[in-house]
Chains A and B, each alone.
Chain A
Amino acid sequence: MSTIGKLRQFELPREYYHWLSKESVWGWLFLLPSLLVLGLVSVYPLTRGIYLSFFEYDGIGDPEWVGLDHYATILGWTEFWIVMRNTLVWAFAAVVIMATIGLGFAIMLNREFRGRSIATTLLLLPWAVPFISIALNWRLMYNFELGPLNGFLRLAGISDGLPWIASSRYALFSVMLAWVWRNFPFFMLTFLAGMKGIPGDLYEAARVDGSSKIDSFRHITLPFLQPVVVVMTLLMSLWSLNHFTLIYVMTGGGPGNSSMVLPVYIYQQAFHFGNMGLASAIAVVMLLVMLTYGLIYLRLYREDVGGK
């Protein structure tokens, strides 16, 4: 992230930050509580989870060492690859759709008109609905008999109703729509804030030069928004990869495994089937995927945008 780049720029010659300089001591002292909490409740369990992934363990008896067996099982397992593919589709397709919708609304809101602040507030409202309420609410939206979506389709005479979350074809996409609904306001706001930072005379100059609105959007707006988009996309895709509630409550991963994503899958393996070792191994694979993605992303970002 550019902050890290920024921190680097500010670094002083070595003698200024000797380990025992006053600033350094205060720095570590202030950071100590955070490190303690994270160490005990995040890093320690994480290492124990990695350790657990080499054992067969049902949560009650004695763990039994199996080495890399779980990893071999996972990688040769069709089901795992289906779940992995769902997870990636879920995360990345959702982010693209959110960003597009968010950009559309940001363009509309980025002009002066009466009622603009009310419009912004109303569009932020999905963010104020807790995930559990969204999950229950959208389960009703998709209900075959009572749901307003099918109600609308019937009323408009388009069809007798689609099975939505009850069909293996639409389930993942349907849940994704609820996830998009809740998160597009994030993109809308960040785009809006980014647009406010673009100097207005740039557009004026472009207009004088005779370029069209679409051209100035492509050559002024989009490049200016790029750094904001990069950060937001990284955070949102990581949040999406980790998301649990909507899928767990709306479909439970079904029908079959058609909408199953890794977090729900791991939970089921660990707590429904009592395969804590295997579940940990899957979680470790997931961690590796997320770390690889995150680090590649950060590296590209530092080279492309951070350098500017």
Chain B
Amino acid sequence: MATDTQAVPEEESNTGPLGLNDRQVERVKTIGFHATLWSLIALVLFPVFWMFVVSVNQTGFGAFVSDPIGWALGADLSGYYRVWYESDFPFWFQNSLIVSIGATVLSVAVCTLGAYSIGRLRYRGRTAMATFLLITQMFPAILVAIPLFLVFRDFGLFNTLTGLVIAYVAFTLPFAIWMLRGFYENLPESLEEAAMIDGSTRFGAVVRVILPLSAPAIATTAIFTWVLAWNEFVFALVLINDSEKQTLPPGMGQWIGQQALNWDMIMAGALGATIPMLIVFFLLQSYIVKGLAEGAVKS
């Protein structure tokens, strides 16, 4: 890559050292660029590719490279079969779905109002509240998890999915508000004013005018919230005790000790846990890219 770009200035005259004219130099540069970029992409994606390779037929790198046909012939779905029928994976998967969806729905409902308040309304204390939200992002999850474990134990929420959903709403809320707030700051104010002149209250104006307009921004926020919840480990580890009530991350984490040599099964599970994220990712890709880009640039 480095030699490729450094060689360029010398070749700007009509015929370079290799006897190439400008157009040919352009072509060589383009080819070099594509070769570099796509081999780097292949390198980045290799771990995911390897996850798939091992999930259908456990093999080593040397064996795979020297005999890929042997690998393909020996491929089967037994890893996936064992994940689904011989482990608690289906429970974890279901629990993860319940908890992530529950937390996302609640968190988005709460954060929409909060973000509107902070992003749009003017009142004393809102700057302080915005700073407060940023500070809650700095709370170490584990510092909250220890006392939350004690509180949940006293209130019978320990080892329940309800308790986990409640914890996740608080865990995802600051980030969700922070993301959505930027959007409300940039909406023209005449929108609700028109509705309010027509006689609706502030709340009515928000529900009828602002919410429909902010649907794409809310969708982006929901995705990010969902991803946070799907990935969360510490709270699930601390607040859930039974394997059948566990979510995917701590559940699959136990495989390290129990299934140490069954790499095909472990990789099948790892891919299985990735699938819902991939679906979300491909369906809503444009939102995600836009959300990340805008969120970063604005804040």
Contacts and interface: CB of A to CB of B under 8 A. Distances in A.
The answer to whether A binds B is yes
Nearest to B5: A213
Nearest to A264: B142
A26 B142 contact: no
Interface string A100-144: 000001001000010100011111111111111111111111010
Interface string A1-36: 111101110111000110101111011111101110
A141 B270 contact: no
Interface stretch (B12-20, B70-78, B251-259): B251-259
Interface residues of B, number: 106
B165 to A, nearest CB: 11
Contacts of B102: none
Contact of A113 (B30, B41, B111): B30
Nearest to B113: A30
Contacts of A140: 50-51, 54, 263, 266-267
B46 to A, nearest CB: 7
Contacts of A135: 253
A48 B150 contact: yes
A46 B174 CA distance: 15
Contacts of B139: 42, 46, 287
B290 to A, nearest CB: 9
Nearest to B182: A3
A160 to B, nearest CB: 12
Contact of A132 (B144, B150, B202, B273): B273
Interface string B210-229: 00000000000000000000
Interface of B: 30, 33-34, 36-38, 40-41, 44-48, 50-51, 54, 58-62, 64-65, 110-111, 113-114, 116-118, 121-127, 129-131, 133-148, 150-151, 166-167, 169-171, 173-174, 177, 181-182, 185, 202-203, 206, 230-231, 233-234, 237-238, 248-249, 252-253, 255-256, 263, 266-267, 269-271, 273-274, 277-278, 280-281, 285, 288-289, 292-294, 296-299
A139 to B, nearest CB: 7
B252 A132 contact: yes
Interface string A185-228: 01001101110110000000000000000000000000000001
Given A28-B123, A41-B148, A267-B237, 20 more contacts: A2-B299, A26-B203, A27-B123, A31-B118, A35-B129, A42-B144, A52-B147, A119-B38, A121-B285, A122-B45, A128-B274, A131-B231, A133-B51, A137-B51, A140-B263, A140-B267, A141-B47, A151-B65, A270-B146, A283-B143
Contacts of B44: 122-123, 125-126, 181
Contacts of B38: 119
B8 to A, nearest CB: 9
Most buried by A among B62, B65, B147, B177: B147
A283 B249 contact: no
Q: Which among B33, B59, B277, B299 has the highest number of chain A CB atoms within 10 Å?
A: B299
A295 B271 CA distance: 39
Contact of A23 (B122, B177, B266, B271): B122
A263 B150 contact: no
7 nearest CB pairs, A to B: A151-B61, A193-B293, A41-B170, A283-B143, A24-B123, A34-B114, A30-B117
Given A2-B299, A3-B130, A128 B252 contact: no
**Main DSSP-derived SS at the A contact region:** helix
B297 A128 contact: no
A128 B296 contact: no
A60 to B, nearest CB: 10
Contacts of B142: 244, 262-263, 266-267, 270, 279, 283
Nearest to B129: A31
A294 interface: yes
A95 interface: no
A231 B296 contact: yes
A45 to B, nearest CB: 4
Given A38-B170, A59-B150, A130 B249 contact: yes
A183 to B, nearest CB: 12
Interface in A81-99: none
A128 B248 contact: no
A234 B270 CA distance: 30
Contacts of B34: 113, 115
A27 B121 contact: yes
A147 interface: yes
Contacts of A35: 129
A249 B169 contact: no
